[in-house]
Structure 1
């Protein structure tokens, strides 16, 4: 089983931190620390979700562990196209940049591997019929 490293988008996490900070600005200024418990829990949950996403593959399947939402198992022989995308739909892709969309059967999924070329080469080694759009 080969592990594919996940790209964690610090730009996305920074955006979420800024939104939570601005939404809690009044409580921070007045030092109402009890009111900051809920935003802190939200931030911890988002960080936990982002850091628990895992990608791996073996000779038959690509596994996308989507934190608490389960694992998507994709037959590599059914993948017909991969391409870089800016699709911002909710996905097991904790980064805005470096996203790729994998098309298989009649479905697709967006992920964010740290090294696109590594994933591309591994997939093409198993299924050379995959169309790659960069």
Structure 2
């Protein structure tokens, strides 16, 4: 099984970090300890998601994991097209430098593998009929 970690983009990390640090500082300054605890728990969850977002390929399946809440399996033979995307929709992608996979008849998902070229090359080895528009 080959694992491709997600690329982490500063365009997502910086606003989230500034927001969490700002709210946590305000809560600590005001002595709102329950609120501070909640912000710290949310921050730990975000760190967990960022550290566990990976794309794994075995012989015929692409497994997408992001934290413990998002797990998806896509048959590589069902992937029809891979194209470049900067779509900001929520997805298991930690950067805005994304690729869109179109699979089955109407399904699609946005991903951001750190090694985009290697990821696409590996998909093509397993399914040479994928249309690539990068």
Q: Could you tell me the TM-score, scaled by structure 2's length?
A: 0.87
The answer as to 2:18 corresponding to 1:45 is: no
Structure 1 segment 85-96 matched on structure 2, within 5 A: 85-96=85-96
State the alpha-carbon separation in 2 of the partners of residues 132 and 57 from structure 1: 18
Residue 45 of structure 1 and its aligned partner are, at CA, apart by 0.9
2:112 and 2:14 mapped to 1: Cα distance? Answer: 17
Task: Name the CA distance, whole Å, in 1 between partners of 2:3 and 2:48.
Answer: 19
Comparing 45-54 and 101-110, the one that deviates more? 45-54
Q: Distance in 1 between matches of 2:69 and 2:27?
A: 33
Aligned counterpart, 1:100: 99
**Paired position in structure 2 for 1:132:** 132
RMSD between aligned residues:
1.8
Unmatched tracts of structure 1, length 5 or more: none
Unaligned runs of 5+ residues in structure 2 are: none
Q: Distance in 2 between matches of 1:67 and 1:25?
A: 26
Equivalent in the alignment of 2:54: 54
Deviation at 1:24, TM superposition (A): 4.3
1:24-35 mapped onto 2 (5 Å cutoff): 24-28=24-28, 30=29, 32=31, 34=33, 35=35
What TM-score, normalized to structure 1? Answer: 0.87
Q: Go from structure 1 to structure 2 and tell me whether the alpha carbon gap of 1:19 and 1:70 turns closer, same or farther (over 3 Å shift).
A: closer
